């Protein structure tokens, strides 16, 4: 068994109102950033899976994302393999 790292980005589906994104966008002109548009807010989940190989680890994450981490009615998601987010500025 090896450990495989993944990140799952979860976003509100297109066409679904994202009141958080709208509120942030509405505040941007105060920063002089009135040229910035299309703000959408989601969440990122990082995890590791113990598995024999990468494809079986990924299968676990896909099932988890569809059945628990995201709500398919209102959210879409993307799964990436790799290390936790590093070099975060700020």
Partner 1 sequence: MKVGVVVFPGSNCDRDALHGARLAGAQAELLWHEDTDLHGADVVILPGGFAYGDYLRAGAIARFSPIMDAVREHAARGGLLLGICNGFQVLTEAGLLPGALRRNTTLRFEHRWVSLLVQRHDTPFTRGIPAGQTLRLPIAHGEGSFYLADAELDGLEASGQVLFRYGPPEGNPNGSARDIAGVTDSSGRICGLMPHPERASEGLLGSDDGLLLLRSMVESAAQVEAVA
Binding site for partner 1 (CB under 8 A): 16-17, 19-20, 23, 68-69, 71, 73-74
Q: Closest approach of Cβ 69 to partner 1, in Å?
A: 7
- Calculated CA dihedral for residues 66, 85, 88, 36, nearest 10 degrees: -30
Q: Which run of H or of E encompasses 45?
A: strand 43-51
CA 37 from centre of chain: 19
Q: Closest approach of Cβ 61 to partner 1, in Å?
A: 15
Nearer to partner 1, 30 or 68 (CB): 68
Nearer to partner 1, 1 or 73 (CB): 73
Q: Closest approach of Cβ 29 to partner 1, in Å?
A: 18
Task: Look up residue 38 and give its two tokens.
Answer: 């299309």
Nearer to partner 1, 18 or 62 (CB): 18
């Amino acid at each position: 068994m090896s450990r495989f790292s993944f990140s799952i980005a979860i976003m509100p589906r297109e066409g679904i109102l994202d009141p958080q994104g709208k509120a942030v966008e509405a505040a941007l002109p105060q920063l002089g950033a009135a040229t910035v548009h299309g703000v959408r807010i989601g969440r990122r989940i990082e995890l590791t899976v113990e598995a024999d190989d990468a494809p079986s680890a990924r299968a676990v994450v896909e099932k988890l994302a569809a059945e628990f981490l995201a709500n398919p009615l209102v959210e879409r998601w993307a799964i990436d393999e790799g290390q936790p987010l590093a070099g975060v500025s700020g």
